[in-house]
Structure 1
Amino acid sequence: MTTALPYWRLSGFYFFYFALLGATAPFFALYFDHLGFSAARIGELVAIPMLMRCVAPNLWGWLGDATGRRLAIVRLGALCTLASFALIFVSQSYAWLALVMALHAFFWHAVLPQFEVITLAHLRDQAARYSRLRLWGSIGFIVTVVGLGQLFERVSLDAYPWALILIMGGIVLGSLWVPNAQPAHREETAGHGGFLAQLRRPGVLAFYVCVALMQLSHGPYYTFISIHLEALGYERGLIGQLWALGVVAEILLFLVIPQLLVRCSLRQVLLASFLLAALRWLLLGNLADHLGVLLFAQVLHAATFGSFHVAAIHFVQRSFGARQQGQGQALYASLSGVGGALGALYSGYCWTALGPAWTFGLASLAALAAACVTAIRLKEEGP
């Protein structure tokens, strides 16, 4: 007997989870700038959650695979994220904020890799429908980034932590609404052996190197794009709308990518994503003062995040067996964190010394390197 897909419960969780990303990615740097921190300190504070992503997902992923209690981990992570972030009201010193960023991120990054396994377990042989669920995360991102952009044109950024607390509460409630599911055994698809044996299969390690490089290339964007655009004279409301435009393009991509994956291999989708990312960073670093170019660069978010993420999730699912799915997704999250942290750190130190053009230029080189690794090391597979 086939169980009906709990579409709205799964998509509702994605909505709140990525609403939090929409509240943090564009506004954390602005908030820290509002508190008076330098570019280097901002880069360090933004890097801390990404560094926690290097450790936390692997720990929680191993625990999820060992116990099978992935939904319990999701719920615990959501609750502890809320509780630990509430410590931000105690102090706004650099050391205390660093502690808050590390602590809440340790639990926040426990959540998504385990939830991805639960989602794919619900989907089973309907994995192509993943993008239709995930697009609600993008909608949550848009609602938050536009809403907060308009809000902070009217009120002080001192209200920012309260907005995050409300969204984190939504994640907690969403996690309580989701039913559990366990992945089916697919040893014949993913190959035999344990996690390390499957990791050593041709192209898998190369894929993870590309994941780190792609997130490294996003460092200047996630850390400084809002500050960069504000310095170019754009209003905060418009900046929020520009972030939202990128995610609208991502949603449209999610709607068509099932058909795209029928016609193209994962390798082809990943390669195109990396090449378009290299172009996007060059445009943002050199021509963001031209609104038309800026709009085009934001539309490219459909490739630099949308197609890349969906192809990556499918690649991980294909590459690991049922008992290693949590660890495979966790390693994807961890290496995303490694790359993102290094990207935030280098951009923080380069922003003042080299300027936006050179900082984004280095990001473009990282994306090109990922394209080269993909072209050389990833084997071609059927759609």
Structure 2
Amino acid sequence: MTALPYWRLSGFYFFYFCLLGATAPFLALYFAHLGFPSARIGELVAIPMLMRCLAPNLWGWLGDYTGRRLAIVRLGAVCTLFSFALILIDKSYAWLALIMALHAFFWHAILSQFEVITLAHLQDQASRYSQIRLWGSIGFIFTVVGLGKLFDWVSLDAYPLAILLIMAGIVAGSGWIPNAQPQTSEDRPDRGGFFRQLRQPGVLAFYLCVGLMQLSHGPYYTFLTIHLEALGYSRGVIGLLWALGVVAEVLLFIVMARVLCYFSLRQVLAASFLLAALRWLLLGTQADHLSVLLFAQLLHAATFGSFHVAAIHFVQRSFGDRQQGQGQALYATLAGVGGALGALYSGYSWNSLGPVWTFVIASLAALAATVIIATRLKEERA
């Protein structure tokens, strides 16, 4: 067995999630800086998520069909950079909508294919996935803290240049990765093709809950920074609050392999959804109390950390080796559908219903996912 390229894989996750750390807290804030109302902000933020409905499945099928997943990752990284660079030309609503769609089409080609490459490198060491993935969380922390401080000192006009610099890091990181292909396993045959595997008990229910989880994140990723600014928090403090959530996520990743030894995937997923429902209620009603806000951010360990790791393991277990790319792509797609719907509804409800009811709707979505996953998913230990 070849040596695991730990730092190369970890380095790519670092730069990839630096980009998420630059967009999740600050993209909506940048659009507000440009003068767009909340409904238009929700639409612009939803466009990249909507592209996850199309792009991951197309690239996932292409990766499974050709086996050239690393080439797709590298092409996606380069095209993401050049597509987003178009923002330097114009900043009208229509032009920004085009940029959001174009760059997201290539950006969403990357992660699902890279997850397959990472798991192929790990082979029978799949429990080490969280130890590699945590570097993505560290990249997120580095970016939200750094940009939060930066935008306390300089104008948000510098935001596009910061994004382009991070995208250049993703391009560089993609060129450093060695290729790997999933190994056919005798104890996990193809089991009749992708759609037959999709109809296994609990699989469709799982994907529905993925969509609900991401829908519930809509107000968080679209309006949390704006919400906290309105409550009087500075951008530097807001960056630290975003980082705190991801620090909790990193700590969870470190112990996640041990957690999965004691609890089934169903138990971990159900707990993640239930804690998400609690978190959105706290953010909607108690965010002006710093102690409650700190606790709510610590719950990110569940709403993203344990949920994501358990979901990746579930997808890997549910599909044969030749359908891994499509399984991971469908996971990204349902997350995109849910995220887009969450951004859209929160954009329209933020002014009409207010922050409290916008987060209450998110909490109800997470609670519905709790019930579905607890009743429809079979017990399975990772």
Checking the alignment, whether the CA contact within 8 Å between 1:214 and 1:370 is kept in structure 2 is: yes
Shift of 1:30: 0.5
**Cross-structure match for 1:221:** 220
Q: Does 1:117 pair with 2:116? A: yes
- Unaligned runs of at least 5 residues, structure 2: none
Identity %: 79
Provide, for residues 158-205 of structure 1, a one-character-per-residue CA deviation record: whole Å limited to 9, x for no partner.
000000000000000000000000001136336611000000000100
**Cross-structure match for 2:292:** 293
- Counterpart amino acid of 2:360? G
Provide, for residues 146-167 of structure 1, a one-character-per-residue CA deviation record: whole Å limited to 9, x for no partner.
0000000000000000000000
Checking the alignment, whether the CA contact within 8 Å between 2:260 and 2:381 is kept in structure 1 is: no
Task: State how far apart, in whole Å, the 2-side matches of 1:245 and 1:352 are.
Answer: 28
Checking the alignment, whether the CA contact within 8 Å between 2:268 and 2:306 is kept in structure 1 is: yes
The structure-2 alpha-carbon separation of the partners of 1:181 and 1:295, relative to structure 1 and needing over 3 Å to count, comes to same
Q: Which runs of 4+ in 1 moved over 4 A?
A: none
The structure-2 alpha-carbon separation of the partners of 1:119 and 1:270, relative to structure 1 and needing over 3 Å to count, comes to same
**Cross-structure match for 2:182:** 183
Checking the alignment, whether the CA contact within 8 Å between 2:190 and 2:322 is kept in structure 1 is: no
**Cross-structure match for 1:145:** 144
Shift of 1:376: 1.0
Q: Does 1:86 pair with 2:85? A: yes
Secondary structure at the aligned position of 1:189 is classed as coil
Q: Does 1:276 pair with 2:295? A: no
Task: State how far apart, in whole Å, the 2-side matches of 1:314 and 1:379 are.
Answer: 14
**Cross-structure match for 1:132:** 131
Task: State how far apart, in whole Å, the 1-side matches of 2:9 and 2:186 are.
Answer: 26
**Cross-structure match for 1:233:** 232
Checking the alignment, whether the CA contact within 8 Å between 2:190 and 2:321 is kept in structure 1 is: no
**Cross-structure match for 2:198:** 199
Checking the alignment, whether the CA contact within 8 Å between 2:130 and 2:256 is kept in structure 1 is: yes
Secondary structure at the aligned position of 2:175 is classed as helix
Q: How does 1:1-383 map to 2 (within 5 A)?
A: 2-186=1-185, 188-189=187-188, 192-383=191-382
Secondary structure at the aligned position of 1:110 is classed as coil
- Counterpart amino acid of 1:281? W
Checking the alignment, whether the CA contact within 8 Å between 1:150 and 1:237 is kept in structure 2 is: yes
Provide, for residues 219-260 of structure 1, a one-character-per-residue CA deviation record: whole Å limited to 9, x for no partner.
000000000000000000000000000000000000001000
Root-mean-square deviation (CA), in Å?
0.7
Shift of 1:41: 0.2
Task: State how far apart, in whole Å, the 1-side matches of 2:189 and 2:354 are.
Answer: 45
The structure-2 alpha-carbon separation of the partners of 1:354 and 1:187, relative to structure 1 and needing over 3 Å to count, comes to farther
Checking the alignment, whether the CA contact within 8 Å between 2:31 and 2:41 is kept in structure 1 is: yes
Secondary structure at the aligned position of 1:314 is classed as helix
Provide, for residues 35-93 of structure 1, a one-character-per-residue CA deviation record: whole Å limited to 9, x for no partner.
00000000000000000011000000000000000000000000000000000011000
- Counterpart amino acid of 1:239? I
- Counterpart amino acid of 1:151? L
Aligned length: 382
Task: State how far apart, in whole Å, the 2-side matches of 1:293 and 1:90 are.
Answer: 43
Shift of 1:381: 1.8
Secondary structure at the aligned position of 2:288 is classed as coil
Checking the alignment, whether the CA contact within 8 Å between 1:120 and 1:183 is kept in structure 2 is: yes
Provide, for residues 15-34 of structure 1, a one-character-per-residue CA deviation record: whole Å limited to 9, x for no partner.
00000000000000100000
Shift of 1:347: 0.1
Task: State how far apart, in whole Å, the 2-side matches of 1:382 and 1:74 are.
Answer: 31
- Judge which range, 371-380 or 334-343, deviates more: 371-380
- Counterpart amino acid of 1:339? G
Task: State how far apart, in whole Å, the 1-side matches of 2:248 and 2:134 are.
Answer: 11
Checking the alignment, whether the CA contact within 8 Å between 1:230 and 1:236 is kept in structure 2 is: yes
- Counterpart amino acid of 2:192? G
Task: State how far apart, in whole Å, the 2-side matches of 1:206 and 1:237 are.
Answer: 40
- Counterpart amino acid of 1:306? G
